[in-house]
Structure 1
Amino acid sequence: MASITDQAPSALTPIFDGWPRASLADDAGPAAFQAAPGDALHRLLAWTSPSFPIGAFSYSHGIEQAVEDGAIATASDLTRWIEGLLRFGAGRTDAGFAVRAARAAAAHDDQGLLSLARTAAALAPAAERALEARQQGGAFLDTVARGWGLDQAADFAARLAAAGIPPTLAVAAGACGGWAGLPEAMLIEALLHGFAANLVSAGVRLVPLGQTDGQRAIAALGPVIAAIAADARRHPQAPPGGCAVLADITALRHETLYSRLFRS
């Protein structure tokens, strides 16, 4: 059977008449993205998508150990656990870092960004949680610089490397959102949604749960995400830090789990 590529060009042309066209020239690259007006929603959907190549799928944020311990055995357990992370753990802390990074980037406050990055890198409570934040942060800056042509991301990565400061995802993503001029409310909610959705996906695979259970969890977490994002924007100078102690302990114990699927 002939494929669509076997048809004559004239047979395909009417399908695409009137559609916006993107250049597929061999030299099309980051400059093509910079030349077009930025579409905030388009960027946010891409940058927080599971397909964005920062390796988020390989981290469970300690959830794998919690499943092993029996602390997470149902969809309700998973939802409550992630809600705790959002309200009292990395969700709350990283939302604050992302807000401050976005505002510092928009204000061209390079020294402020470096100081913020140093603080964020120091607050990881476990080696694997540090790996999770730092590897994803570095990959985020690299992908946005090379794939989306955001030169500030490459410059920031170079300054961090020169200062010996590892990038974290919250600061990297917040700063890139600020440089790209993304609406702050959308940016913070999208980042928190991406964090929560990735953990739901990990839980669905680990417990295991059905995909519908996973969607119920994401739906239930929506108001929590909105509240945490709004609070982070109202109080950007709030001292960073969390009190999700059980989650921190499971992250520490995950480092010695004999057989595992995830890196954190």
Structure 2
Amino acid sequence: MSTALLSLLQLADPTLPIGGYAHSAGLETYVQQGIVNNTATAKSFVTEMLTRNLQYTDAAFVSLAFDAAMEQDSLKIIALDHECSAVKLPMEIRQASQKLGIRLSKIFQPVCTNTMADEYRAAIETKTATGHYCIVYGLYAAALGINKKDALSGFYYNAAVGFITNSVKLIPLGQQDGQEILFSLQPLISQLVENTLVPDKDLIGLCCTGFDISCMQHEQLYSRLYMS
């Protein structure tokens, strides 16, 4: 029996101890402004984040990092890391990506020996790279023998769970409401996975400006429960 499925479940586990629960990706701003305030607006937020943001940023970098890892192209990994830093304009989001990536690397480095991941870790330690979560995820997905489609499915699912969990806490919503939103997103996630298998490199960094602005405004909120 292959352990790839079990590896994917661990890699994409929303409860993995890397601190993901501490980041709302600008949702806290929208909630305080009264823009996201019920089940319908929460679903809209999650849908738009997955479709108009992650598809062209983090998920695309997962896909490209996976390809680079399979090709044993360490220089490409570093280039993707730099590009990822460049497209993350809000400081909190950029720092969150780096913190989560480094923590994810610390979890899997002792249990998964891989040359590409080790080289990336060395680049982080020498400040040649910053260690974004999506790059680390793509690297270890390849190293653990997870196929690309499953890896992307896990990545989108992880992101959706995070957004929904934060919506349940912040608005607040009922737990059942959150689960119904998550279930309803399955067709969308499946389509996004197909879209991201071969990302259009000309669209990397395309996002909704409103999301970036909400993340920047989050830095100045009077009271905050989340780090981003």
Q: 1:159 & 1:229 partners in 2: Cα distance?
A: 29
Flag the structure with more relative contact order, 1 or 2, with Cα contacts below 8 A and sequence separation at least 6.
2
Q: 2:130 & 2:12 partners in 1: Cα distance?
A: 21
Cα distance change of structure 1 residues 214 and 49 upon mapping to structure 2, 3 Å threshold: same
Structure 2 length as normaliser, TM-score? 0.94
Q: 1:165 & 1:130 partners in 2: Cα distance?
A: 13
Q: 1:118 & 1:52 partners in 2: Cα distance?
A: 25
1:149 aligns with 2:125: no
Q: 1:198 & 1:150 partners in 2: Cα distance?
A: 28
Q: 1:15-45, CA deviations, whole angstroms, 9 ceiling, x for partnerless residues?
A: xxxxxxxxxxxxxxxxxxxxxx751110111
Greater Cα radius of gyration, structure 1 or 2: 1
Q: 1:63-89, CA deviations, whole angstroms, 9 ceiling, x for partnerless residues?
A: 011000011001110111111111111
Residues 91 and 195, structure 1, Cα contact 8 Å, conserved in 2:
no
Q: 1:245 & 1:236 partners in 2: Cα distance?
A: 19
Q: 2:131 & 2:197 partners in 1: Cα distance?
A: 22
- Moved >4 Å (runs of 4+): none
Q: Match of 2:84, SS? A: helix
Q: Which runs of 5+ in 1 are unaligned?
A: 1-36
Q: 1:81 & 1:177 partners in 2: Cα distance?
A: 27
Aligned counterpart, 2:170 = 206
Structure 1 length as normaliser, TM-score? 0.82
Q: 1:47-104, CA deviations, whole angstroms, 9 ceiling, x for partnerless residues?
A: 1113312111110001011000011001110111111111111343211111110011
Aligned counterpart, 1:263 = 227
Q: 1:83 & 1:66 partners in 2: Cα distance?
A: 14
> What pairs up with 1:123-138 in 2 under 5 angstroms?
123-138=87-102
Aligned counterpart, 1:170 = 134
1:186 aligns with 2:130: no
1:66 aligns with 2:23: no
Q: 1:136 & 1:244 partners in 2: Cα distance?
A: 23
Q: Per-residue deviation at 1:243? A: 2.7
1:113 aligns with 2:77: yes
User: Residue 10 of structure 2 aligns to which amino acid in structure 1?
Assistant: A
Aligned counterpart, 1:88 = 52
Find the partner of 1:237 among 182, 201, 210. 201
Find the partner of 2:19 among 32, 55, 60. 55
Residues 98 and 132, structure 2, Cα contact 8 Å, conserved in 1:
yes
Residues 121 and 165, structure 1, Cα contact 8 Å, conserved in 2:
no
Aligned counterpart, 1:97 = 61
User: Residue 215 of structure 2 aligns to which amino acid in structure 1?
Assistant: A
Residues 102 and 131, structure 2, Cα contact 8 Å, conserved in 1:
yes
Aligned counterpart, 2:192 = 228
Q: Which runs of 5+ in 2 are unaligned?
A: none
User: Residue 184 of structure 1 aligns to which amino acid in structure 2?
Assistant: K
The number of residues matched between the two structures is 227
Cα distance change of structure 1 residues 91 and 234 upon mapping to structure 2, 3 Å threshold: closer
